Structure 1
Amino acid sequence: MIIPNKVINYNDSIINKMLVLLTELSQSNFQIKELYFSTQNSFEEIDEFFLENFILKNDKGATLKWGK
């Protein structure tokens, strides 16, 4: 689920789904709830969404604006 390998292809990996969040975040500031509702069709489960947010928010190179 996290990284592509022999069993998990790139399209199903969390790395590919990161692009969905980055695209949405580049267009506007979102509250976490709004971001989930605008991207929920890209994730199989809500835990994938939270994992993506955890990865992006903890990446020291990422500059995300989360709004209030």
Structure 2
Amino acid sequence: MCDQGLGEIFLSSGLDFARNKLLAKEYRLTVASFNQRAIKIYQRLGFKKVNNFERISEFGKTEFWVMILY
């Protein structure tokens, strides 16, 4: 379902549910830094990068970003 413009709507709906039904006030996510399409959506919805780290697997090093929305 990529490139249909649904990512922002989907994530926004999930955040609204968490806010209204679960009374969530803060949100934290971890995303691979190469996933720029997802990062753009997160940033449009107000998430800010607060940290990053690397993980090593059999495929090599991957950088991850930790992002927070207040």
Task: Say which structure, 1 or 2, has more relative contact order (CA 8 Å, 6+ apart).
Answer: 2
Q: Which has the higher helix share?
A: 1
TM range (shorter): 0.3 to 0.5
Q: Which has the higher strand share?
A: 2
Please give the TM-score of this superposition, normalised by the length of structure 2: 0.39
Please give the TM-score of this superposition, normalised by the length of structure 1: 0.40
Select the structure of larger CA radius of gyration: 2
